[in-house]
Structure 1
């Protein structure tokens, strides 16, 4: 009887129901394992319980708790709500924000076991990855993102009151169309959102203090942009061309944009830049969080802090998360990032603790080192998806997943299996899979290469084509129209082969269809 009472005393909870006291108690137990035993280094956490409707609202606004208003967010909310109410799709168990403190939203519909799982997954797994991965360190500012989003929301709202909702919507429509081309792919300086907000306040104070209506009565002289500059190299140097960040170029050089419109472009590209590391680390981020929650939940069960029934409930949810359908399964939609990330990490643990001769040949630096957690932490800190797969995907896992590579050449009648399970095939297969997570291969490389400032101010862009993959014409024309609307003058795009610079296709003189003013 005393042993049973002692066992019951160790239990964090005994049923599916939860309250805030149980959530706090369980969070503390998870924290002791995550930080005390595993040595994780997450941000301080702020756990908030939200309803399914609030979760849908967060879905619609890119997962952010504060955001400006735009009609596209309402469209996404209506679609997701309809699918959820009809039972055609489910909702995530949680949403986590890369901020300091780390915001972890958990659904009130979750059972206590699911609340435990998602706190381990998000508040410690994701949070540790956010805080320690080099990409997030270089590109994000977790200390200030919530303040910046509040500033952005207020700024857009003020612009709507001052200039009209329609005028603001036109700028946001065009900026959102170019959002994926609004990032710097190579670090220029560490993002500091507090400085971004202060810069706008200083600019506004200067305008208010120096404004005089008499200035508009003075005769205007021609802008320096109108000077005749026949030297292409000099013109490109002055404008910083070529420039891959289209929103940045428009913000700095678009002739017709007002200061508030430039600030909105800046807000959109700062948000795009903030999400850029997440697009490069989906497999690693979810793999890290899944491996962490698996280790913590297993440890809670080993120490008698959750029941066998709660552990079985966890295993059911975890198995669903890491399930990878076969290629001929109706549910197949590609490789599940949770499954791939978790699978590589678990296999990496095996290599560290119980390596084979094959593992010692492929991973001589880590095979048998006995420090799986330390190896994980190094991988989480130093790699992104492409390099993570290229470095740590093992032959054993390729065999277990039955992976092989197929060459699909448009000039050939048949498909060719060009990588099988031998040493050279493993290396080729690993390179092929890693290439699927290289954003440079999947996002078009479009750059501003020239602008005729002395003539009709036509903006000239160039798409450097890889592997003969041209842009889809209809969508390209629509995006170029948005670009022309912001620029205010015609836009030309040439698609050129990245190897020999041969022109493959051209979009000539796409005119703006409305004036953004």
Structure 2
């Protein structure tokens, strides 16, 4: 290999300073915007230490976060593993905000700073700004100011009502975060600062004028006419907009015992859960996009003579570690590596666009051989989540490369069956099954509020729509119901109903726990 001149290199050696970072950033930006056609938020790069990175881990990566004991517990846990050498730290951390904040580890070499800048500040940044889930379901321009409001508001509540009272509400709210998102309808946008100021003023007014006398109203007569009771139930469900999938939202709006400040705490936790929901649906696409972007950019910089052979070897080693996919019988096998699958699919799309086979033309007639891999990728990144991306773009070539097959393991059988193999029908079945495994709605339990008699026993009635016979683990189920009761104030019942047949599989209630 011929030795390159160092005159055009962005850096020479592992050491870095801010001038070197700036020079590398400008070179990366030129390729990302002019050659790849990326569209990104303004970037804000911050250099942090390993301890600050651990702190970011514990507070779900947000630069502004309220205090809670669980964050400290996670910090100690992560720090313990890191000090013992049992866990490494991420080279970077990126925030879906405007400006897009990227944390770079100060321990990184300059080559790694180059890679992670391309990966996070341009790959993830572009995906955050352009993917439809993030555009419709998050507000990158408002999240930082909202988190600043949340942190100050919770601190104020701790001063006024005590740390224990605040933590009790947050504990229950955190336990219900997975059931605190809108999955099928668009959530309301974060309000502007002016609207939040009015909300704070209204909240203070409610706290000053709130009366507890309404709770002493007598219950309605128990011996109501059955037809009247049925009509009342129907009207009640209509008024309360039942069934309701977002449990935290329902409790925030309709709990019979919560004070206004406690309702605001539920809203804060609910907003944070909703903010992270798109990331859970796009793990493969998001990481695949960022990995493809950094790989393309560092290779382009090398071709331009801006990166030395030694630095390129370091970058390729780190890249290979990221996209390494252990075999299923390897002790290190954690499942399918989202970096590996996402990156391989992005490269496969590029190949299909530029050098398609007859098989590719048969499976992907809309873009095979179109010669525009950049436009095809930009469209895929903007308009899909993991589930639909698999269904639209996973090719037979990729199924063969990852050696995927479908294993059928029915509870009633004493054997496992290889149900789908590498043939035309098998490819379609494997692709559909893999796509379903990335459907967050299918993986998480579907629990909805279906009724509550506000004039009767005030019991909150929940329903678990059981899919594929998968029931809830009893101990965690009962513990979670206890958190629901804490926020509702009265007994809570849960019935498990088979989603296919409608038959009741189990019933439980907090008065039995």
Q: Same fold (TM over 0.5)?
A: yes
Q: For the Cα contact (< 8 Å) 1:490–1:511, is it kept in 2?
A: no
1:205 to 198, 201, 204: 201
2:411 corresponds to: 410
Q: For the Cα contact (< 8 Å) 2:136–2:186, is it kept in 1?
A: no
Cα 1:207–1:59, aligned 2, differ >3 Å: closer, same or farther? closer
Q: Distance in 1 between matches of 2:317 and 2:200?
A: 55
Cα 1:421–1:200, aligned 2, differ >3 Å: closer, same or farther? same
Q: Distance in 2 between matches of 1:58 and 1:212?
A: 37
1:178 to 160, 176, 190: 176
Q: For the Cα contact (< 8 Å) 1:491–1:511, is it kept in 2?
A: no
Within a 5 Å distance, the mapping from 1:123-138 to structure 2 comes to 123-138=121-136
Q: Distance in 2 between matches of 1:48 and 1:323?
A: 28
Q: Distance in 1 between matches of 2:129 and 2:218?
A: 45
1:75 to 73, 76, 89: 73
What is the TM-score with the length of structure 2 in the denominator? 0.95
2:36 corresponds to: 38
1:22 corresponds to: 20
1:433-458 CA deviation, whole Å, 9 max, x = no partner? 11100011110000000112122211
Within a 5 Å distance, the mapping from 1:265-280 to structure 2 comes to 265-280=266-281
Q: For the Cα contact (< 8 Å) 1:43–1:100, is it kept in 2?
A: yes
Q: Distance in 2 between matches of 1:207 and 1:160?
A: 16
Within a 5 Å distance, the mapping from 1:68-467 to structure 2 comes to 68-188=66-186, 191-194=189-192, 198-206=194-202, 230=229, 231-467=232-468
Total equivalences in the alignment: 505
Q: For the Cα contact (< 8 Å) 2:485–2:510, is it kept in 1?
A: no
1:37, distance to aligned residue in structure 2 (A): 1.4
1:501, distance to aligned residue in structure 2 (A): 1.2
Cα 1:87–1:209, aligned 2, differ >3 Å: closer, same or farther? closer
Cα 1:416–1:208, aligned 2, differ >3 Å: closer, same or farther? closer
Q: For the Cα contact (< 8 Å) 2:118–2:297, is it kept in 1?
A: yes
1:189, distance to aligned residue in structure 2 (A): 5.1
Secondary structure of residue in 1 paired with 2:450: strand
Cα 1:398–1:349, aligned 2, differ >3 Å: closer, same or farther? same
1:507, distance to aligned residue in structure 2 (A): 1.1
Q: Distance in 1 between matches of 2:297 and 2:141?
A: 27
1:490 corresponds to: 491
Q: Distance in 1 between matches of 2:334 and 2:498?
A: 31
1:36, distance to aligned residue in structure 2 (A): 1.4
Secondary structure of residue in 1 paired with 2:510: strand
1:459-515 CA deviation, whole Å, 9 max, x = no partner? 000000000000010100110000000001110000000012101011123479xxx
Cα 1:79–1:208, aligned 2, differ >3 Å: closer, same or farther? closer
Cα 1:224–1:269, aligned 2, differ >3 Å: closer, same or farther? farther
1:12-39 CA deviation, whole Å, 9 max, x = no partner? 0010000111001110110011011111
Q: Distance in 2 between matches of 1:475 and 1:170?
A: 18
1:504 corresponds to: 505
1:417, distance to aligned residue in structure 2 (A): 0.6
Secondary structure of residue in 1 paired with 2:457: coil
Q: For the Cα contact (< 8 Å) 2:133–2:278, is it kept in 1?
A: yes
1:10, distance to aligned residue in structure 2 (A): 1.1
1:63 to 49, 61, 64: 61
Secondary structure of residue in 2 paired with 1:244: coil
Cα 1:458–1:294, aligned 2, differ >3 Å: closer, same or farther? same
Secondary structure of residue in 2 paired with 1:103: strand
Cα 1:226–1:442, aligned 2, differ >3 Å: closer, same or farther? farther
1:4, distance to aligned residue in structure 2 (A): 8.7
- Which is further off, 336-345 or 180-189? 180-189
Cα 1:436–1:209, aligned 2, differ >3 Å: closer, same or farther? closer
Cα 1:511–1:487, aligned 2, differ >3 Å: closer, same or farther? farther
Cα 1:164–1:321, aligned 2, differ >3 Å: closer, same or farther? same
Cα 1:496–1:31, aligned 2, differ >3 Å: closer, same or farther? same
What is the TM-score with the length of structure 1 in the denominator? 0.94
1:193, distance to aligned residue in structure 2 (A): 3.9
Q: Distance in 1 between matches of 2:323 and 2:162?
A: 48
- Which consecutive unaligned segments of at least 5 residues does structure 2 have? none
Cα 1:224–1:188, aligned 2, differ >3 Å: closer, same or farther? farther
1:250, distance to aligned residue in structure 2 (A): 0.2
Cα 1:265–1:221, aligned 2, differ >3 Å: closer, same or farther? closer
1:515 corresponds to: none
Secondary structure of residue in 2 paired with 1:492: strand
Cα 1:421–1:484, aligned 2, differ >3 Å: closer, same or farther? same
